[in-house]
C-alpha cells in the first residue's frame, strides 16, 4: 500500500476498496465485514468497486463511489488537497468527516466494548481520518503553497414580486413577508463552491418543510398560532428522514423567524436503530415569530400554497421555490 490522499484528506491508497487493494474474493469479504463492523454500513462483497481514488481526473472516467461536492470545490479551486486552500478548514470539510473525528477510535471502542486490533484500525479507520491527514499536510506547506479560495454566492433565482395584488394592505404585507422569507433562505455571499452546493441542497429541504406546513398543515387549535402535520405527511415530501438532520433544519429555520418542533407521541418507537424517523409516533408543529409576521403570515402561507397547488398540481413546488406569486392575480 502507498499513501494517496484525496482532496478531503482520506487516504485512498490505504482504503481496502482502492483498486490495488481489492484483488481477491478474500479482499472483498474483508472489506465488506470491516466497514460494517467499524463504520456501521454494509456493502456486499460483489457490490464493492475497484475505486480509482479521488485524485484521478474526471476526463479519465474514473470509478469512484461518489464525486462529492467537497472534491468538486477543490477541483474548481485548483488545489491538490483542501489543506492547500486558504479557506481550510472550512465547515464543509469538517462536516464531511464528522463520523471520523479525532476521537474516532475511542468512540468505536466504546461502541464495540472491545479494543480494536492495530491491523484493523489501520485498514478500516485510519484511512478515513481526513482532518488529521489534512492538518499534517497543511503543517508541511509554506505560504507559497496556499491557493486563495474562489468566493461565490448562493442566491436563489426568484420571480419578481407582483405589484398589483388584489388584496388589502395587511394581506399584501403578509405575502410580502413570505416572499422575503423564500428569498432569504440560504442566500449568502462570499462562500466556497462546496458551501454553495451544500446550501443549495439544504435550501430545497428547508423549502420542502415550509411547503409541507403550508400545503398540509392544520391549525393546532382554532385561531391558534401553530400549524401541525403528522410524520407520514412530513416524510411524503421526501425531506431527509434523519432525526439529526431534522433537528438541524429546525435550527436553521429559526434564523428566519420560523419555529419548527418535532413532537414525539410516545417515548419509543418513532425512531429506527439507525436514527431515521419512522412514519408514525410523532408530529411536527410550526409557527412564525411576531417579527416574521406571526399568524397572518402563517395563514397567507396556507393560502399561497393552496393556490399554487390548484393551478399547477405536481409542478406547484417548482413555482414555490422561485417565490412566484403571480398565481395570486390569476
Per the CB < 8 A criterion, the answer to whether 17 and 49 are in contact is: yes
pLDDT at 221: 84
* Exposure string over 38-76, b if 16+ CB within 10 A, otherwise e: beeeeeeeeebeebbbbbbeeeeeeebeeebbbbebbbe
Spatial separation of the C-alpha atoms in residues 227 and 221, rounded to whole Å:
9
- Mean pLDDT along residues 125-152: 95
Structural contact between residues 321 and 156, judged by C-beta atoms closer than 8 angstroms: yes
Give 107's pLDDT tier (boundaries 50, 70, 90): confident
Residue 132 has pLDDT above 80, yes or no: yes
* pLDDT classification of 101: cutoffs 50, 70, 90: low
SS3 at position 305: helix
Task: Tell me which of 263 and 330 has the higher pLDDT.
Answer: 263
Output the CA–CA distances (angstroms, integers) from residue 298 to 118, 235, 242, in the order listed: 57, 21, 26
Neighbouring residues of 14: CB distance < 8 A, sequence distance ≥ 6: 1, 2, 3, 4, 21, 122, 123, 126, 127
Q: What are the percentages of helix, strand and coil residues in the chain, rounded to 5?
A: 50, 10, 40
Give me 7's grid cell: 482532496
Q: What are phi and psi of 93, to 5 degrees?
A: -65, -45
CA distances from 12 to 75, 148, 183, 319, 325 (A): 17, 25, 40, 42, 49
Q: Taking the model in full, what pTM does it have?
A: 0.83
pLDDT 10s digits, 221-234? 877 799 999 999 99
Q: What is the pLDDT of residue 102?
A: 62
Within 10 A of 14 (CB to CB), how many other CB atoms are there?
Answer: 18
252-298 pLDDT, tens digit each? 999 999 999 999 999 889 999 778 999 999 999 999 999 999 999 99
Q: What is the C-alpha to C-alpha distance for residues 250 and 200, in angstroms, rounded to an integer?
A: 17
Residue 85 has pLDDT above 80, yes or no: yes
For the chain, percent of residues with pLDDT exceeding 70: 98
- For the chain, the structural domain boundaries read 12-145, 152-329
User: Which pLDDT score is estimated for 98?
Assistant: 59
- How far separated are the first and last CA of the chain, in Å rounded? 66
Amino acid at each position: 500500500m502507498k499513501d494517496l490522499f484525496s482532496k478531503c484528506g482520506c487516504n485512498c491508497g490505504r482504503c481496502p476498496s482502492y483498486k490495488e487493494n481489492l484483488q481477491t474474493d478474500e479482499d472483498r469479504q474483508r472489506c465488506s465485514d470491516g466497514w460494517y463492523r467499524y463504520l456501521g454500513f454494509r456493502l456486499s462483497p460483489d457490490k464493492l468497486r475497484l475505486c480509482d481514488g479521488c485524485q484521478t481526473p474526471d476526463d479519465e472516467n474514473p470509478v469512484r463511489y461518489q464525486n462529492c461536492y467537497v472534491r468538486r470545490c477543490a477541483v474548481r479551486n485548483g488545489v491538490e488537497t483542501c489543506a492547500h486552500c486558504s479557506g481550510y478548514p472550512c465547515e464543509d470539510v469538517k462536516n464531511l468527516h464528522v463520523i471520523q473525528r479525532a476521537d474516532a477510535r475511542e468512540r468505536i471502542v466504546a461502541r464495540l466494548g472491545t479494543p480494536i486490533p492495530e491491523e484493523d484500525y489501520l485498514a478500516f479507520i485510519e484511512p478515513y481520518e481526513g482532518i488529521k491527514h489534512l492538518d499534517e499536510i497543511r503543517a508541511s506547506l509554506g505560504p507559497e503553497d496556499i491557493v486563495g479560495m474562489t468566493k461565490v454566492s448562493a442566491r436563489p433565482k426568484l420571480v419578481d414580486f407582483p405589484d398589483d395584488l388584489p388584496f388589502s394592505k395587511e394581506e399584501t404585507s403578509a405575502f410580502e413577508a413570505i416572499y422575503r422569507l423564500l428569498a432569504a433562505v440560504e442566500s449568502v455571499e462570499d462562500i466556497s463552491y462546496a458551501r454553495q452546493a451544500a446550501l443549495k441542497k439544504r435550501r430545497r429541504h428547508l423549502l420542502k418543510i415550509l411547503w409541507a406546513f403550508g400545503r398540509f398543515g392544520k391549525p393546532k387549535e382554532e385561531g391558534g398560532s401553530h400549524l401541525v402535520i403528522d410524520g407520514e405527511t412530513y416524510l411524503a415530501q421526501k425531506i431527509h428522514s434523519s432525526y439529526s438532520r431534522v433537528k438541524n433544519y429546525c435550527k436553521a429555520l429559526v434564523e428566519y423567524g420560523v419555529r419548527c418542533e418535532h413532537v414525539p407521541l410516545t417515548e419509543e418507537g418513532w425512531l429506527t436503530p439507525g436514527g431515521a424517523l419512522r412514519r408514525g409516533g410523532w408530529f411536527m408543529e410550526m409557527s412564525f415569530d411576531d417579527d416574521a409576521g406571526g399568524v397572518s403570515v402563517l395563514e397567507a402561507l396556507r393560502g399561497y400554497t393552496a393556490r399554487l397547488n390548484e393551478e399547477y398540481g405536481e409542478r406547484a413546488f417548482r413555482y414555490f421555490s422561485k417565490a412566484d406569486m403571480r398565481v395570486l392575480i390569476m
